[in-house]
Amino acid sequence: MGDKVKKPKISERRKFFTLLAQNAGLGMMGGLVWTGYASKAKGSSLTLRPPAALPEDDFLSTCIKCGLCAEACYNRDSNIDKETGLQRPATLKMAKAGDDVTIGTPFFIARDVACYMCEDIPCVPVCPTGALDLASVTNKNNELDPTMMDMGIAVVDRNSCIAFWGIQCDACYRACPLLDVAISLEYTRNERTGKHAFLEPVVHMDACTGCGLCEIACVTEKPAIFVQPREVALGRPGDHYVKGWDKKDQERIKNRADKDVTTRTKRSEKEAADYLNMDVEY
């Protein structure tokens, strides 16, 4: 007869199943932690993306997290420190765990390193999937145009901006690469003194690219001017209000289900001219 197979001791089997249960529990916990983090990261509405990025949902589904845009940003010719001859930190960086941004996707923090609006926009042409839309920064002459970038919009906090206190400051205005186009200074009378004027910075939403150079230049401890994604910074009028003189604006309501519904009351029976020079009770 052959040798009998030795049965494992009860203590060894118990140890095996205990370790198996522990590993399963750790795996489940890791999955829950990752799911929670991923949900939080995707829910961040303040993330600033590279120039020409698609809308956030489309960007996340199109970006393959290759890092070519961040590499092109770091290796651009204009990113050499003139004093040391070394590469400076890049504007774009790839998100890591703890960044509160979807891991592996490119983003930037304007207060750390702003976008310098390179003429050749090196980060966009290298994108292999179209997550960075080359057409959106190409003008009618088929040339790359940095003024067509749209990373966000600068917002001025009137309460903390010292220019609104009457202290002369034009740091953000001077830092803007689109001087007097994206940011201008508005002179208003100082009613308190009657002798001085305020030089208030005004951001023009149609021209601002969201580069963040103004945010870096701001002299206050916490920037009084800062860049936010447009969908966060700007309001939304909704489908019930349109600019009647702007055909492009009317495109917003073309698919509205109730666009032909009009509220009629007894007052609606009269024309607007009927109310001229009349005392109307409301």
Does the structure show a pLDDT above 50 at 162?
yes
Indicate the helix (H) or strand (E) that contains 33: helix 10-42
Answer with the residue of higher pLDDT: 71 or 1: 71
The predicted-structure confidence for 8-42, as pLDDT tens digits, reads as follows: 555 666 666 667 666 766 666 665 555 555 544 55
The predicted-structure confidence for 132-154, as pLDDT tens digits, reads as follows: 999 999 999 999 999 999 999 99
Can you give the pLDDT at residue 43?
47
State percent of the chain over pLDDT 70.
76
Stretch 239-243: mean pLDDT, rounded?
A: 77
Domains of the chain (ranges plus CATH)?
46-148 (no CATH), 152-233 (3.30.70.20)
